Amino acid sequence: MQQEKKKGDFRVVNHAIPRRDGRAKVTGRATYVSDVKLVGMAWAKVLRSPYPHAKIISIDTSKAAARPGVYGVLTGNDLEGINPYYGHAVKDHPLLAIGKVRYVGEPVAAVVAVDERTAFEALEFIEVKYEELKPVLTHDEAMAKDAPLLHDRVFEAGALRGFEGDTTAGKGSNICQAHHIQWGNVEEAFKNAAAVVEGEYYFPMTYAYAMEAYVAIADVNDNGVTVYSSAQHPFMVRHDLKAIFNLPVSQVRLVVPFVGGGYGSKSYTKIEPLAAACSWKFKRPVKLQLTIEEAMLTTRSDDALTWMRTAVDANGKIIARQAKILMNTGAYAENSPLVVEKSTNRCVGPYSIPNVQIDNYSFYTNTVPASSYRGFGCAQVTLPGESQIDELAAKIGKDSYEFRVMNAAKNGEEFFPKMRPFEGSLKQDLDIAAKALRWNEPAPKGRAKSIACSTSDAGAYPLTSTAIRVHADGSVTILTGSTELGQGSHTVLPQIAAEELGIPFDKVHVMSSDTAITPYDRSTGASRTTTLMGSAMIDACREAIQQMVAMAADVLKVKTEQIQVIPGGIRAGEIQLNWSQIISKYYALPDGEVIGRAYIRKAGRFAQIPVFWETVSTGVEVAIDEETGKIDVEKLVTVGDVGLAINPALAEGQDIGAATMGLGTGLYEELVYEGSQLMNGSILEYRLPRFKDTAKEIELNLVENQDGAGPYGAKGGGEGSLNSMAANIANAVARATGVRIRHAPLTPERVWRALKEQKAK
Amino acid sequence: MMPLRRFTIDQPKSVKEAAEMLAHHGENGRLYAGGTELLLAMKHDLLRYEHLVDVKTVPDLNTISVGNNNLHIGATVTHRAVERSAEAREHCPVLVDMEHNVANVRVRATGTLGGNLCFAEPHSDPAALLLALGAHVHVAGKNGERKLNIDELIQGAYETAIAPDELMTGVDIPLAAKSRRAAYMKFQIKERPTLGLALVLDVDGGNIKSARAVVGSISPKPARSDQVDKILAGSRADVEKRLADAAQELAKVADPVDDLEGSAEYKRHLVGVFLKRAFIKALS
């Protein structure tokens, strides 16, 4: 824990400084990949499969290729010379369908042309002959004895390290991944329980909807591969591209300018290999910009069908939880094997439960591939988990808030065997939520309240490096591999550097996410940037200061022990020098620089996984129109247990954003398949949260006990308040009407139907 | 949404010229007013036209005027213009209320009343209300003008009685009588309404002399029937008792189907909920 200063001591950190990129973004001056043009750049457009599962018999591209303005057409038959399979967990994903298509919407061919419209207009001149195969669309169909196999070979592993499990993909079944955790004796505990609740819950497939759809510009030439991309994790994409083109790391460059929202949907490799293959084949830079509708055919979240039971003893102590989860992961593994592992862990919740058994399976099906989604499997299992907490409390006649407090994991408790002990103050968080909701006062007629909570083993893998350059004029450039997705890294990281170096915030600037320039950072996800990159920032600043102390000693002809570091510089006896003076005197010119470096690895304070526990409590008060089943959110409360908010306004912004996304999945959002066809694959049909849906009253709270492993005791935030929102909605409906709905989203018709069925009983 | 395919835009200077252009292009051409539906369908590659005839360049189609018996709204008047029109507010407040809630402000600023009716998207708010209000539209072609009521105009989903070489020039809506009570209510979760319910009553004290109820969005075209309207006439107290019967009959006429907006059963239920709510609102 890097925690010398206490809350109240900070000069720059822990202040709500306006975000660095705010003005550029609201005035339209911020550069995104879609704004980037390269000399001689062509455009690609993708032909997609109309079938869920089919053999490709032949592709005739001659008519499309002959059209004016078309440079050529790339198909799965043209990929000799590169390794066309990629994948973060297992390399099961061809950059274009090779011999077979596995979902409606899978890329089959790409036209490369002088402009986007010309490429698009040529698509319908490509003639593809398919032979349809029996599709596998659901968990049940995937498990059936005579189910066709989506993949019939074992794949090479991808870059997913720190992944404890062994992938099961391609081993003779449609199981993409299985993961199990177990401690205590579940059977025994349920036998001796005073009360048990049991049920089956469904959390739907969702689309993350980043306002910016996937976009990449690739330039493959004799010098290597350069790709401008909307990727969250440029270094992970580099890994895939390096393997595809069999190049050294130094010849693969990913450049990521501002990203228009990620929410997990832009983690890992997406369209970069296809754009790069187009550039490689037709020997010019190629831009591939998907539409939102195409993005919806690229990545979604895993759905989850969860059977769960939870038991208490006579004192109201939770003694056991068991669950079996089935996830539909679509045609390719992407990052879902890790989603499986994380959702398994996250079934436990922030509770101390002595007997646990969770079994989780994800299945390949002929649907859009699923992958990371904000919260990473946590929302899927928090719907059952937090529903059952309320169901159990009701069953034993306890107040659900008090029941949570009583079973909450305590700070320092090893509530999850072999993991980092719990770091947080859940009781305090729940108390704040209860107070904000006036928990003790009854809700007005037609309304009800709910409080819920979650904790996630967050932070992904601790491998992060950074460099800071202190210039001779005393200003600073940060080199960071963390991507600015809107979460605020371009503001938070300079705040930390300014704090450490004792200089104004305005003197620190960021250069981010260019793998040829910025040091390695494994990912920008799992709420990890503040904790890991923030810690690296402190280390790099302190290392730079050490160097400058040595320089000052040299310049002043004193021993380093005689030098005292003060804000913005040093003091040696009567002499004070700022960083600019030290550097200028050292080089004997007002020029030059000092480079501070830091490397974070799975060691020291980050030796234990997870990097931190992301713990959030949320609460709602909802109004239910029983005639239509429509739910309105009257009040929303979030309590982020963030250790220390480096920028409180940004931390709150993340919490309300995630909670709103969670409301979406609680109330409206779901990808609807009818057979093999995605029925609502456009934002006209896919119902996202709107301003009108946001709560009439919102209270955002941050708990800052400086108890995290990150900078000054900070922990990550940004995902947690999503996780418990669907459960909150279901719990509030149950409290208002007595009807328990175990299927998200709680759409008006679903609520109306449940109420109707209850009345019929 | 894909890039738009190439097309040309014609800019006629008169109704006659527009009709000639449409006749010339045949099925390769389409009239273009606000474009909020048409261009979206073209961007989704659901419709393809090589030529669009921009009716907005025809003068005088974008005016709102008050006649002896009718409020006249030109075909290229935007939803937003109706929403903000003092004449419309005075002579047909229910229309203003409905227009205020059409889609979102960007659609209202661009989309036109004429375009909305002629596209005949089944979830049209104006179509349902204008049918209840007894409005009619003027259609002009090479062979002169004709008048259609809304029921005649809208034949089904995306289908109207307007010939390929004709265009709508405007809508006439009967001016509000002192005895007219009207309400338009909708249930909307998604981008388009799940259900719209228009109710227009002619009242005399506690008596409802006549009624006209229309349900929109749940069927290919707005639905109504004389029988429903008959059930809704009579003393207010009696009609209140018969609202459920009227709703059941109206739902039967509309004959909704299961789709992404809801099951047929749910939509039939909503007809009852919103007929009751519209009744209360109209008489409040």
Residue B35 and residue B115 in contact, taking contact as beta carbons nearer than 8 Å: yes
The set of residues, in sequence order, having a beta carbon less than 8 Å from that of A509 and lying 6+ positions away, is A475, A476, A477, A478, A494
How do beta strands A70-75 and A54-60 pair? unpaired
| Same domain, residue pair B82 and B128 | yes
Q: Which of B157, B174, B191 is the last residue of a domain?
A: B174
Q: Can you give the CATH number for the domain in which B20 is found?
A: 3.30.43.10
How many whole angstroms separate alpha carbon A663 and alpha carbon A657? 10
Three-state secondary structure readout of B144-207: EEEEEEHHHHEEECCEECCCCCCEEEEEEEECCCCCEEEEEEEECCCCCCCEEEEEEEEEECCE
Total domains in chain B come to: 3
Helix (H, G, I), strand (E, B) or coil at B276: helix
Question: Does B3 fall in a domain?
Answer: no
- For residue A685, the distance in angstroms to the closest alpha carbon of chain B comes to 7
Residue B118 and residue B150 in contact, taking contact as beta carbons nearer than 8 Å: no
Is the pLDDT assigned to residue B230 strictly greater than 60?
Answer: yes
Render A12-55 in DSSP notation, one character per residue: STTS-PPPTTHHHHHTT---BGGG---TT-EEEEEEE-SSSSEE
Residue B30, exposed/middle/buried by CB under 10 A (0-12, 13-18, 19+)?
buried
Give the least confident one: A1-5, A742-746, B134-138, B273-277.
A1-5
Distances (CA, A) of A216 to A234, A332, A420, A470, B29: 12, 21, 38, 33, 36
Helix (H, G, I), strand (E, B) or coil at A475: coil
Amino acid at A257: P
Residue A458 and residue A654 in contact, taking contact as beta carbons nearer than 8 Å: no
Question: Does B156 fall in a domain?
Answer: yes
The predicted-structure confidence for B47-95, as pLDDT tens digits, reads as follows 999 999 999 999 999 999 999 999 999 999 999 999 999 999 999 999 9
Beta bridge partners of A288: A44, A216
Question: Does B2 fall in a domain?
Answer: no
Residue numbers of the domain that contains B232: 182-283
How many whole angstroms separate alpha carbon A450 and alpha carbon A107? 44
Chain centroid to Cα A513, Å, comes to: 17
Token reading at A746: 């709680």
Cβ-nearest to B3 among A120, A668, A753: A120
Mean pLDDT, chain B, rounded, equals: 96
Token reading at A22: 């705010």
Residue A426 and residue A350 in contact, taking contact as beta carbons nearer than 8 Å: yes
| Same domain, residue pair B159 and B212 | no
pLDDT value of residue A159? 78
Q: Can you give the CATH number for the domain in which B255 is found?
A: 3.30.390.50
Cβ-nearest to B260 among A292, A293, A679: A679
| Same domain, residue pair B201 and B142 | no
Question: Does B212 fall in a domain?
Answer: yes
Residue A287 and residue A43 in contact, taking contact as beta carbons nearer than 8 Å: yes
- For residue B189, the distance in angstroms to the closest alpha carbon of chain A comes to 8
Residue of A64, A396, A154 whose CA lies nearest to A388: A396
How crowded is the C-beta side of A290, counted as CA atoms within 13 Å? Answer: 31
| Same domain, residue pair B20 and B83 | no
Helices (H), A19-169: 22-26, 62-65, 116-122, 139-143
- For residue A672, the distance in angstroms to the closest alpha carbon of chain B comes to 8
Q: Please answer yes or no on whether A117 and B6 come within 8 Å at the CB atom.
A: yes
Q: Which of B146, B174, B202 is the last residue of a domain?
A: B174
- Please give the average pLDDT of every successive group of 10 residues along chain A, which has 761 residues: 79 97 96 97 98 98 98 98 94 96 98 97 98 97 94 83 54 89 98 98 97 98 98 97 98 98 96 98 98 97 98 97 98 94 97 98 97 96 98 98 98 97 97 98 96 96 97 98 97 98 98 98 95 98 98 98 97 97 98 98 96 98 98 98 98 98 97 95 94 95 97 96 98 97 98 96 86
| Same domain, residue pair B187 and B278 | yes
A50 in contact with B, Cβ within 8 Å:
no
A627 in contact with B, Cβ within 8 Å:
yes
Question: Does B73 fall in a domain?
Answer: yes
| Same domain, residue pair B151 and B68 | yes
| Same domain, residue pair B52 and B86 | no
Residue of A124, A79, A133 whose CA lies nearest to A104: A133
B46 in contact with A, Cβ within 8 Å:
no
Question: Does B170 fall in a domain?
Answer: yes
Share of residues in chain B with pLDDT > 70 (%):
100
Q: Please answer yes or no on whether A687 and B189 come within 8 Å at the CB atom.
A: yes
Helix (H, G, I), strand (E, B) or coil at A109: strand
The dihedral formed by the CA atoms of A411, A412, A418 and A419, expressed in degrees to the nearest 10: 50
Residue A509 and residue A501 in contact, taking contact as beta carbons nearer than 8 Å: no
The predicted-structure confidence for B139-171, as pLDDT tens digits, reads as follows 999 889 999 999 999 999 999 999 999 999 999
Question: What Rg value do the Cα atoms of chain A yield, rounded?
Answer: 27
Q: Can you give the CATH number for the domain in which B75 is found?
A: 3.30.465.10
pLDDT value of residue A761? 86
pLDDT value of residue A289? 98
Average pLDDT over residues B33-48: 94
Token reading at A541: 């600043």
Residue A549 and residue A583 in contact, taking contact as beta carbons nearer than 8 Å: no
Residue A169 DSSP class: T
pLDDT value of residue A163? 45
| Same domain, residue pair B188 and B269 | yes
| Same domain, residue pair B116 and B206 | no
- Kindly list the structural domains of chain A, giving each domain's residue range(s) and its CATH number in brackets, ordered by start: 22-30+463-601 (3.30.365.10), 377-460+608-760 (3.30.365.10)
Which residue in A has a C-alpha nearest to residue B1's C-alpha? A291
| Same domain, residue pair B72 and B166 | yes
Residue at token pair 């993991």: A419
Q: Please answer yes or no on whether A628 and B2 come within 8 Å at the CB atom.
A: no
Token reading at A522: 């494994």
Q: Can you list the positions of beta strands (E) in A670-742? A: 673-674, 677-678, 697-703
Question: Does B52 fall in a domain?
Answer: yes
- For residue B274, the distance in angstroms to the closest alpha carbon of chain A comes to 9
Mutate to test the interface with A, among B1, B43, B105, B107 (most CBs of A within 10 A): B1
Mutate to test the interface with A, among B42, B270, B271, B279 (most CBs of A within 10 A): B270
Question: Does B78 fall in a domain?
Answer: yes
Residue A464, exposed/middle/buried by CB under 10 A (0-12, 13-18, 19+)?
buried
How many whole angstroms separate alpha carbon B22 and alpha carbon B143? 13
Cβ-nearest to B189 among A45, A116, A668: A668
**The whole model's pTM is what?**
0.96
pLDDT value of residue A170? 64
Query: Torsions phi, psi of A495, nearest 5?
Result: -60, -45
pLDDT value of residue B222? 98
pLDDT value of residue A708? 96
